[in-house]
């Protein structure tokens, strides 16, 4: 979808068109996996996220849930479905998928990447723990959750490594199947750039990966990013939780840390992630 097509949709949609009292301009601000547009009128500026990965409706529902609960997230305005048929894919736990356009007001602040200090990292951990502890979300239950997470990791590893190194990685990753996981609501992709720092608070964006899953997925993804910046997460997290992590919790976190690096190697050819994986195996 290009700006011309989006303008046509907005022009003929009464609710969205009513937001703008006169002419409006559309600017493309991101085209990595989905396309994000900035739509600017004389009195208001909003964003439109055009999804192509199947999680638009899910993200829309979650944004509404969190916004109603007063969490700092992009304010949902309207949703338009682009899919007539829901997609089901084993890689995502056989969950129903739907592409669409999410219209929203963005969170205006700095990324956690721009303010990496113990205080802000602690706030990020507190927010994740709040999600895990207090959001009751019964959708997106994956009956074979651990198998799906492991299979995705093994697919990344198979595409990257020779047989010998693959076997080492596979042995590490398959240990995750031994753990007993109590699913909680998780963000699913707690990278540094998905935390937004406002004046006296912290929020999050990009809830495509949110589901019921392992809370240590969020902490593992965050740990992977912090380790690349020379920051140890575990002491900060233990201070936030008020207890030491168990060996199993550390292993679960390490599994998702490893998988995050594998994904970065596969899709971004990330050399630092390659070095981290080499040190882990």
Rounded to the nearest integer, the mean pLDDT of the chain is: 93
> Do 124 and 99 share a structural domain?
no
Residue 74: band (very low, low, confident or very high) from pLDDT cuts 50, 70, 90:
very high
Among 91, 106, 121, residue at a domain's last position: 106
pLDDT digits 0-9 by tens, 25-39: 999 999 988 999 999
> Do 214 and 145 share a structural domain?
yes
Chain length of the chain:
281
Query: Distance (Å, rounded) from C-alpha 234 to C-alpha 221?
Result: 12
> Do 260 and 125 share a structural domain?
yes
- Edge to edge, the sheet with strand 202-204 lists 110-111, 195-197, 202-204
> Do 134 and 85 share a structural domain?
no
Query: Distance (Å, rounded) from C-alpha 206 to C-alpha 56?
Result: 10
Mean pLDDT, to the nearest integer, of 89-111?
82
> Do 136 and 8 share a structural domain?
no
Question: What is the domain-level CATH number for residue 178?
Answer: 3.90.1200.10
pLDDT digits 0-9 by tens, 188-245: 999 999 999 998 899 999 999 999 999 999 999 999 999 999 999 999 999 999 999 9
Maximum distance among all alpha carbons in the chain?
63
Residue 89: band (very low, low, confident or very high) from pLDDT cuts 50, 70, 90:
low
Query: Distance (Å, rounded) from C-alpha 247 to C-alpha 225?
Result: 21
pLDDT digits 0-9 by tens, 117-172: 999 999 999 999 999 999 988 766 677 899 999 999 999 999 999 989 999 999 99
On whether the CB atoms of residues 210 and 188 are closer than 8 A, the answer is: yes
Residue from 95, 92, 97 nearest 149 by CA? 92
Q: What is the pLDDT of residue 54?
A: 86
The tally of domains found in the chain comes to 2
Neighbours of 51 (CB within 10 A): 24
Among 83, 106, 129, residue at a domain's last position: 106
**Global pTM value:** 0.94
Residue with tokens 């240990």: 175
Residue 85 has pLDDT above 80, yes or no: no
> Do 101 and 118 share a structural domain?
no
> Do 47 and 24 share a structural domain?
yes
> Do 219 and 84 share a structural domain?
no
> Do 118 and 11 share a structural domain?
no
φ/ψ of 88, rounded to 5, equals: -125, 135
Question: What is the domain-level CATH number for residue 18?
Answer: 3.30.200
Residue with tokens 């233990």: 238
Among 84, 106, 128, residue at a domain's last position: 106
Domain carrying residue 70: 3-106
* Radius of gyration of the chain from its Cα atoms, rounded to whole angstroms: 20
> Do 68 and 92 share a structural domain?
yes
pLDDT digits 0-9 by tens, 165-198: 999 999 999 999 999 999 999 999 999 999 999 9
> Do 212 and 118 share a structural domain?
yes
For residues 247-272, one letter each, b for 16 or more C-beta atoms within 10 angstroms of the residue's C-beta and e for the rest, the string is eebbbbbbbbbbbbbbbbbbeeebee
Query: Distance (Å, rounded) from C-alpha 223 to C-alpha 220?
Result: 5
On whether the CB atoms of residues 183 and 141 are closer than 8 A, the answer is: yes
Residue from 166, 162, 145 nearest 252 by CA? 145
> Do 117 and 68 share a structural domain?
no
Q: What is the pLDDT of residue 87?
A: 57
E strands within the chain?
Answer: 25-30, 35-40, 45-50, 75-81, 87-89, 95-97, 100-105, 110-111, 184-186, 195-197, 202-204, 211-213
φ/ψ of 184, rounded to 5, equals: -130, 165
Neighbours of 106 (CB within 10 A): 16
Query: Distance (Å, rounded) from C-alpha 234 to C-alpha 178?
Result: 22
């Amino acid at each position: 979808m290009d700006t011309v097509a989006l303008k046509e949709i907005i022009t003929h949609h009464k609710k969205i068109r009513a937001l703008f009292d006169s002419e409006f301009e559309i600017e493309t601000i991101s085209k990595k996996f989905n396309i994000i547009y900035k739509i600017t009128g004389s009195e208001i500026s909003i964003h439109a996220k055009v999804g192509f990965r199947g999680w638009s409706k899910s993200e829309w529902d979650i944004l509404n849930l969190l916004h109603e609960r007063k969490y700092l997230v992009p304010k949902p305005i309207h949703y338009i479905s682009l899919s007539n048929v829901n997609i089901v894919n084993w890689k995502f736990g056989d969950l129903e998928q739907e592409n669409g356009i999410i219209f929203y007001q963005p969170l205006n602040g700095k990324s956690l990447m721009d303010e990496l200090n113990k205080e802000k990292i602690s706030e990020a951990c507190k927010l994740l723990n709040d999600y895990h502890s207090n959001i009751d979300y019964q959708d997106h239950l994956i009956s074979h959750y651990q198998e799906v997470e492991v299979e995705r990791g093994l697919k990344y590893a198979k595409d990257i490594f020779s047989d010998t190194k693959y076997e080492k990685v596979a042995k590490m990753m398959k240990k995750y199947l031994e753990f007993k996981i109590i699913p909680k609501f998780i963000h699913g992709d707690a990278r540094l750039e998905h935390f937004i720092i406002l004046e006296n608070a912290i929020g999050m964006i990009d809830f495509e990966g949110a589901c019921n899953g392992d809370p240590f997925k969020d902490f593992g993804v965050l740990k992977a990013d912090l380790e690349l910046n020379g920051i140890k997460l575990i002491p900060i997290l233990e201070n936030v939780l008020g207890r030491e992590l168990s060996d199993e919790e550390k292993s679960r976190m390490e599994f998702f840390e490893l998988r995050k690096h594998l994904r970065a190697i596969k899709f971004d050819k990330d050399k630092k992630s390659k070095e981290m994986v080499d040190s882990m195996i």
